Structure 1
């Protein structure tokens, strides 16, 4: 993606944290010459070669599943907080803009075996059930319920390239206090942008 130099994020540790905390992404490949996207959880992990991978699964009924082939390159997009920035918050006249954080990941597909898929499903459910008052486990599910797993395919995406952007009013540092103050008056989405801006003030 297009990223002006002053908006680039090259801190891989920070990017990995972002991917772990914003793991609901968009998987994009090409089907018959057209881009195709599916919104799914894509979890950051390591493969047997200790390479960084994204792990996910999609329904076999999804046309995209029939076009995921070992060795193909795909694009995964992850969005963080974003907000409209009014130029009325600036000291000097300027056009409005948009602040946002996003990451694009390019990688190579490897289709999982049924055993690998089941392992990744356990990992996914266990991760998010930690937040539940009464967590469930796939180990407790009946064979009838678990037969639904036959309707999906799992995959790993070995990461080849990461492009990360933090567009947070760089170059307008003198306006940051006012921008942050205005964002904090709004919804949780805008407040999240303010929080990201304050982190960089520190």
Structure 2
């Protein structure tokens, strides 16, 4: 990921925070069959390994797990909030007009190689962990144990699990750090008037 120094995020706590807050991750691999991408939820175990370990699963019918099994490097993209930045937000527009549009955003890229498995107990831990995480905010959370055990067993037979110890992390927080304080304030103020939640998140981060 192209990341000028003023946009670079190298704080492990911040990087893990972005990973944890990304509900759907893009998993990208490349092998002799070409590029493949899947959009999946993941679990992060932050204390397993120097930079954490990621857990997830794919359908057995999805051939991408075979790329993971053969040792292909995986790229996992965790996309955060983003916002279009209008030149009209910049104080510099009134001063000299030499401004153009851009895009502010948060993103984390993780790289690693996977351990692939079909062990039912490990698969159940992943499925249960993902379910508990995303049901936690509901008034009456659904649990894996709410479904018949034989049905869950059948569903587990249709997936392949994986763990990916993170070998490298890249973080980017593009928040106009290369602009003047006046321009940054103008962008934050402009985005704060938006009704879009992503715009409001970027405005909050900039302020």
Higher mean displacement: 76-85 or 61-70: 61-70
**Structure 1 segments (4+ residues) deviating >4 Å:** 46-51
Q: Would the aligned equivalents of 2:49 and 2:165 in 1 still touch at CA under 8 Å? A: no
Is residue 191 of structure 2 the alignment partner of residue 183 of structure 1? yes
Q: Would the aligned equivalents of 1:86 and 1:97 in 2 still touch at CA under 8 Å? A: yes
Structure 2 residue aligned with 1:94: 99
Displacement after TM superposition at 1:40 (Å): 0.3
Q: Closer, same or farther in 2 for the Cα pair 1:24/1:84, shift >3 Å? A: same
Is residue 198 of structure 2 the alignment partner of residue 193 of structure 1? no
- Provide structure 1 residue ranges, at least 5 long, that are not aligned to the other structure: none
- Per-residue CA deviations over 1:21-60 (Å, capped at 9, x if unaligned) read 1142101111435211000012111586676111111111
Displacement after TM superposition at 1:65 (Å): 2.0
TM-score by length of 1: 0.91
Q: Would the aligned equivalents of 1:89 and 1:178 in 2 still touch at CA under 8 Å? A: yes
Question: Secondary structure at 2:157's aligned position in 1?
Answer: helix
Question: Secondary structure at 2:18's aligned position in 1?
Answer: helix
- In structure 2, C-alpha distance between the alignment counterparts of 1:136 and 1:51, rounded to whole Å: 31
- In structure 2, C-alpha distance between the alignment counterparts of 1:49 and 1:177, rounded to whole Å: 39
- Provide structure 2 residue ranges, at least 5 long, that are not aligned to the other structure: 93-97
Question: Secondary structure at 2:176's aligned position in 1?
Answer: coil
